[in-house]
Structure 1
Amino acid sequence: MNVHKRQTVTAILRLIEKETKIKNADNISRTNAYKAYYDRHPEIKWPLLASFVSRNAGWSMTDLRGVLYQEGLDSSQKNWFFLSYERANWLIFSDAYPQLLVYQWSKQIGEPLFRHLPYFRVSAFMQEEWFRFWRDGDTERLMYALIINEQNTIQAPIIQNPSFKKNVFGTIPFYLSDWFHFNTVIFPSFDGHLYGISVKRFSKTEERITLGKQLARLLFSPDLHASFYRFLDTVPHTGSRFDMEKMIGIKKRTSPMLRTTYPIVAHPLDGERADWFQKRLRKGAFLQEKMPKQLELTDWYFQKRRELHALFAVKEWLKK
């Protein structure tokens, strides 16, 4: 590589670092950045999925300060749950968004820059997958690869982190949420229906990967994709669950907007992020997953809201 080309690449990498840092400020900026990227590069499907899932993360964050959890969790629990959502949201973006921008610059200059992905501590697995995509153009495989990568990326620093295990993933509220299917990702359609998929054993990497692949199939299903996209394209993301609840006729806001509730979180750098990839994936990692029988969840959603209210009411009664 000659000096001029090396200087150009160095400048590109620094621009990517700068843009990633700016857009990784909070859940709102991440969610919007994913959606904007998909609109620029629709052949890369994962960012649209990431934007929808990131909306759900924002709703979960503000739920903690809303009516629903007012009595269910104490202030310390609320803070830990928020930090787990925020840290995972931040970590996935810090890993994935530089990859997306490297692809964007590769398109712009007409040659692949993926050999520079290690600069951003991206896994060897994804470096290989980006080269494969550049060569073969398999959009579904790349989407699945990003799902696999991001769930493995958060496993050690978030799910297995001793502090998060003690204060979030090992707590009774989390186990109850897992058991009663409150850990459900919701996709609202513009025409006033809710679709979604639940995950049990959220702490298991393979369960979250299966969920991600199922959600991808749901999002891009021919019958529903246009309505999902219209919701994402026309309903601004405030972080409040009311963004989607108003689509199904709920008139009263039960959770606040994110930027009126939480400050910007300064995330500490954790030194070298270990590469999770051990040269082998489970058999069938890139195959489609079987879909649940029930995907339309509008009535289910109202029922779960009532159950959660009842659960927290019992919890408060037992404390007396």
Structure 2
Amino acid sequence: MNNQPQRQSSILETIHKQLKIFNKDNLTRTSYYERYYDQNPEIRWALLAGIVSRNAGWNMTDLANEWFRTLLNEEDRHQLFAIYEASNWTIFQDACPQLMIYEQSKRQGRPLFYLLKEFGVSSFIINEWKMFWEKHSEERLCTALIINEQFVLEEAVLQQPLFKQVISKKPFFHLEQHTHLSYVLLPSIDGCLYTLYVRPFQKVSNRINLGKQLAFILFHPDTYPSIRSFMIHHPHTGSRHDYDKLMSWSPRVESFPLRLVYPVVTHQLMKRKDWSNKHTNVASYFKPVKPWKPVTRDQWVQHKWMMIYLAKMLKKWMI
């Protein structure tokens, strides 16, 4: 008797249940990405997603510290948090089933990627998973996942009215211009910081290029051991104290663990359109970044925090 449909139904039911558990908040998402990479190190994107998700958590809790409470009113801070949270949730909701189906495929020794249609995953990334199963190109799959998730994010979050409303506001515009709110940090175990930023981050091509550059730094032989060691030895709490306690300097502003600041947010699952149906020419996004030797940028980051502090003091003085 063929019980394959029954097994498939069981796999889908398990994934739906686990997705609800692991997509609870920024901490559960980050932890899942990093544990997944431990068990499936060939999926480089999972580790990249972990470090980017850490940054999302740090940005969320920054909004609750004294500096940002001075710089932005409560409505602006709430809207910014909503964008960070929605982006973090959306990417996980799309990517997690892909990661789980890959694990199931490994266990069964055969590709099960056709099941991803159940989760509204793009035909583009389904084809990339099939190609990876056959050719095992770790770098290509990582780039493909970067491309896919940025297009998913574009349509599900960044093209929505809330995002456009927030970035059009003068306080946010001035903060972004002077402090680079959209930079991503890659802390290392020895207290050094690697970082990149994107501007304007509204352009999907810029965010894809940023993702590829971050992957280059993360997996560069000179940086991977120290960044990976930081991630292993410092579980993500949402507080910037996760890494600033390792550095020779600190912004000296309170930074709270995420669950002390924000409740769990309930998201409405909306049916997504397949972005790849209208973006058929994506070959150019696979172009590798030009290699370079990663350098630490501690002073640059320190300068940006100083700019935020000065902006806060000016705002306080004006009030």
The TM-score with structure 2 as length reference comes to 0.95
> Are the counterparts in 2 of residues 169 and 203 from structure 1 also a CA contact under 8 Å?
no
Aligned residues: 316
3-state SS of 1:68 partner: helix
**Closer/same/farther in 2, CA of residues 292 and 138 from structure 1, 3 Å limit:** closer
Alignment RMSD (CA, Å): 1.7
Contact map agreement 1:193 1:248 (CA 8 A) in 2: yes
Q: Which residue number in structure 2 is paired with residue 14 of structure 1?
A: 13
Unaligned runs of 5+ in 1: none
**For the residues of structure 2 that align with 1:215 and 1:55, how far apart are their CA atoms?**
14
Instruction: Please report how far the alpha carbon of residue 254 of structure 1 lies from its aligned counterpart in structure 2 after TM superposition.
Output: 1.9
Q: Is the 8 A contact 1:177 1:183 kept in 2?
A: no
Number of the residue aligned with 1:310: 310
1:31-86 alpha-carbon deviations (Å, 9 max, x no partner): 00000000000000000000000000000000000133120011111110001000
SS state at 1:284 partner: helix
Greater shift in the superposed pair: 20-29 or 250-259: 250-259
Q: Which residue of 2 aligns with 1:255?
A: 255
Specify the alignment match of 1:161 in structure 2. Answer: 160
Which amino acid letter does the alignment assign opposite residue 255 of structure 1?
Answer: S
Offset, 1:291: 6.1
Q: Mapping of 1:148-227 within 5 angstroms?
A: 148-166=147-165, 168-180=166-178, 181-227=180-226
TM value normalised by structure 1:
0.94
Q: Cα gap change, 1:293/1:43 in structure 2, threshold over 3 Å: closer, same or farther? A: closer
| SS of alignment partner, residue 275 of structure 2 | coil
8 Å Cα contact 1:68-1:254 kept in structure 2: no
**Structure 2 counterpart of 1:281:** 281
Q: Quote the Cα distance in structure 2 between the aligned partners of 1:18 and 1:37.
A: 17
Distance in structure 2 (CA, Å) of the matches to 1:83 and 1:215? 24
Preserved CA contact (<8 Å) 2:239 2:257: yes
Tell me if structure 1 keeps the 8 A contact 2:147–2:208. Answer: yes
Structure 1 residue 182: deviation in Å?
A: 3.0
1:69-127 deviations in Å (ceiling 9; x for gaps): 12001111111000100000000000000000000000001110001111000000011
In the alignment, structure 1 residue 55 sits paired with structure 2 residue 54:
yes
1:276-307: CA deviation from partner (whole Å, max 9, x where unpaired): 11352344211212368874211111111111
Counterpart-to-counterpart distance in 1, 2:200 and 2:217: 21
Do 1:214 and 1:291's aligned partners in 2 also have CA atoms closer than 8 Å? no
1:26–1:265 CA contact under 8 A, matched in 2: yes
Counterparts in 2 of 1:187 and 1:63: CA distance versus 1, 3 Å: same
Cα distance in 2 for residues equivalent to 1:75 and 1:222: 43
Give the % identical residues.
Answer: 41
Which structure 2 residue ranges, 5 or more long, are not aligned? none
Look up the SS of the partner of 1:196 in the other structure. strand
Distance 1:279 1:207 in 2: 16
Cα pair 2:194 2:295 within 8 Å, conserved: yes
Deviates more, 1:141-150 or 1:297-306: 297-306
Residue matched to 1:115? 114
Deviation string 1:141-188 (CA, Å, 9 cap, x unpaired) is: 00000000000001122111012211x222223323432323210000
1:273 is aligned with what amino acid?
Answer: R
Q: SS at the partner of 1:71?
A: helix
